[in-house]
Amino acid sequence: MIEKVGIGGEGYIHSTALEKTMAEKIVLRRLEPEDRDWVMGLLYERWGSALMVTRGRVHEADQLPGFIAEDQGDPIGLVTYRIDRDECEMVSLDSLVEGRGVGSALVAAVRETATEWGCNRLWLITTNDNTAALRFYQKLGFRLVAVHCNAIDRSRELKPEIPAIGMDGIPIRDEIELELRLDN
């Protein structure tokens, strides 16, 4: 369960659903303009650029809305998203610590936001080499809905920083689309 603290949807969000696995609460807060330098640095470190490409569309992830997860004021995670009519796309998700529920808490915050905006679908793209992400999202209830074969060739035209070989030595070729239905 995500509990909002603050007025008018602003302020901090505390994840209490995962407390059994966490030593301390993870505090989530909305991304603010003063966070943009940190976001840009994290995206360059993790992704080679602040640009993300999904389904042939370029996103400036550092300019999107999102949430930052903190532990005692130190950032430990980031999620960015975009809402388009009745759909919400998670564009980036980064957890800087493993096994504490950071990623799950960030996904829950986006899911709640998408629901509040009346979205009926939360979706994302990952690549065929990212088997850890495929496991993670399916455990959260996401379903594989499409494999866009060789889509990364087009993505590399828009973002040349995408490597040819990814995790575990797997060639990066395909976009895998996952979704979580919010309308049932």
List of residues 6+ apart from 184 with CB closer than 8 A: none
CATH at residue 173: 3.40.630.30
- pLDDT tens-digit profile, the chain (184 residues): 344 332 234 444 444 443 333 445 789 999 999 999 999 999 999 998 999 999 989 999 999 999 999 998 999 999 999 999 999 999 999 999 988 899 999 999 999 999 999 999 999 999 999 999 999 999 999 999 999 999 999 999 999 999 999 999 999 999 999 999 998 6
Rounded Cα gap, residues 10 and 47, in angstroms: 29
Q: Report the pLDDT value the prediction gives residue 25, as an integer from 0 to 100.
A: 79
Range of the domain at 120: 2-181
pLDDT of res. 184: 61
Q: What is the number of structural domains in the chain?
A: 1
